[in-house]
Chain A
Amino acid sequence: MSLSDFLQRAMSRWMRDGGPDDDIVLTSRIRVARNVQGYPFPILQTDSHASDVIEMVGKAIEAAPVKELGQYELIRCRDLSALDRQVLVEKHLISPDLAEQEKHGAVVLRDDELVSIMVNEEDHIRIQCILPGMRLDDAWKLATSIDDALENKLVYAFHEKYGYLTACPTNVGTGIRASVMMHLPGLVLSGSINRLLSAVSQVGLAVRGIYGEGSESFGNLFQVSNQITLGETEEEIIGNLQSVVYQLIEHERNARQQLLQRNRTQLEDRVSRSFGILAYARRMDSRETLERLSDVRLGIDLGIIQGVSAGILKELMVTTQPAFLQKYFSRELSASERDVRRAALIRERLRLDDTEVHG
């Protein structure tokens, strides 16, 4: 199969499509945790409890209200190979924890993969909607409509005071986790990232980033999400996150412009070197891949590199992951073999675009 055919088939909508402010926000994600009344949480589940819950969810997605919201398919984890489960993890459709729930776990996927429902992970039901770009409101609208449709056939564990009951009290109440994945190379390069992120973490939000040696950035990717689930409405929680994200977007745009004005040549050099390495290298580990892709994406956003699809960062950060590589090359690969294949896939992918580097 050619690479473009493979990608056409293998990519989720969130990886392919753009959206508002997608020069900085890669994805907006809403996850809603729900449990079925009268059943113990998955941690104490017996085989028959687990099957009951899966069956109930299966019936609920067959019912009319859910059917109106798209084409859904329920798959039990035990019917998927370990590799296929890992591919779903790499596509952000299921969690690593669910992938390990071979016996009791299941997942419901909508055909466009913007919606996935994890069954018997930490909670009985976790509805996840993932949209490209800054679209938290739309993601919430989608998640809450699916929630309503499911509830038609299910009785949720709900407490008048504590709200939706979840296995972990860090999720109780709304059961909502809203998160935004951001690409912030400007703030990292200008050195203001730590100050900003620690300010963000003071307002009830959690920030996750990956750092390399000496707390240097790692792909410049950060996820910002709400921490509080009880005591605020869903709209308040999302609104709070949104306003912080918009501020970060503005800071990032300013930082990029400043860099361009003050260090243009240096920036062009950095971006072009990274592009050269991605286009020609014969071995790439996943860490360097992310770092180079981040530079290239910045180059695309600033008009230094033209003809490369802006989605390249999102696309390759998923398709160069271990399970994806093994799927594409249809064989098991050791870590060092993966580095060779990863470099090959990246070179091939870049050749699909009609590239030009300006300077």
Chain B
Amino acid sequence: MLCERCHERAATVHVTKIVNGEKTGYHLCEQCAKEQGEIMHPFISGNAFDFNKLLSGLLNMESSSGFAPAQTTQLRCSSCGMTYNQFTQLGRFGCPDCYESFSSRLEPLLRRIQTGNSHTGKVPVKSGHTIAQQRQLEMLRRELQQAVVDENFERAAELRDQIRALEQGADE
């Protein structure tokens, strides 16, 4: 087997990665491996190689399946100008607003590469307070709806007071 980088010397360094049970690898000669620092790369680059490869694999599948075209190719982020097509090639978004701009295409993608599509972890300290409050308000509103449906008006009144108190607290 020839080295995938110089295509001259025999490949003697084989880097194998296993992601989701799927084996991928690349093959280099000793010298190219050294020059690229490949010997250490896998431990350093965090996610660079395999996660992106996995992602671009999925994105390629999407664009070659003929499933995407027409309206998807028109998608463009108004903040940074990146198109959805560019994203599928780069595997990177252009700016934070891209998440909203491409949300219709993003949801199915996230379902494949992540466990869920909602963040449940840490929230920023500064804006965190309001986010936590919004989450609680949402929960209370859902409960209120249910209470009304169940004709449990006593509980509904209680919930309405709680929601009001929270909303007023947020204004202050």
Contacts and interface: CB of A to CB of B under 8 A. Distances in A.
Given A40-B95, A212-B13, A231-B120, A170 B47 contact: yes
Contact of B19 (A37, A165, A227): A227
A210 B42 contact: yes
Given A162-B119, A174-B119, A287-B30, A44 B82 contact: yes
For the side of the interface on A, what is the size category? 35 or more
A211 B15 contact: yes
Interface in A154-202: 155-165, 167-174, 176-177, 179, 181, 197-198, 201-202
Name which of B16, B113, B122 has the most chain A CB atoms within 10 A of its CB: B122
Interface stretch (A16-24, A74-82, A92-100, A252-260): A92-100
Given A227-B19, A237-B121, 7 more contacts: A44-B82, A95-B45, A96-B41, A148-B125, A162-B99, A163-B121, A321-B39
Nearest to B106: A169
B21 A159 contact: no
A184 to B, nearest CB: 14
A158 B122 CA distance: 11
B131 A160 contact: yes
B13 A204 contact: no
A89 B16 contact: no
Contact of A43 (B44, B90, B106): B90
27 contacts: A44-B80, A44-B82, A90-B37, A95-B44, A96-B44, A96-B48, A152-B125, A155-B127, A159-B100, A159-B119, A162-B99, A162-B117, A162-B118, A162-B119, A168-B55, A169-B109, A181-B43, A197-B18, A202-B20, A206-B17, A206-B18, A206-B50, A212-B13, A213-B14, A227-B20, A231-B120, A232-B116
A37 B15 CA distance: 37
B123 interface: yes
A161 B109 contact: no
A-B residue pairs, 4 tightest by C-beta = A231-B116, A163-B119, A231-B115, A157-B96
For the side of the interface on B, what is the size category? 35 or more
The DSSP consensus for interface residues of chain A is mixed
The DSSP consensus for interface residues of chain B is mixed
Contact of B121 (A92, A232, A317): A232
Interface of A: 31, 35, 37, 39-41, 43-44, 86, 89-90, 92, 95-97, 122, 126, 144, 147-148, 151-152, 155-165, 167-174, 176-177, 179, 181, 197-198, 201-202, 204, 206-213, 215, 218, 221, 223, 225, 227-234, 237, 285-287, 290, 317, 321-322, 335, 338
B14 A215 contact: yes
B121 A174 contact: yes
Given A163-B119, A209-B16, A92 B95 contact: no
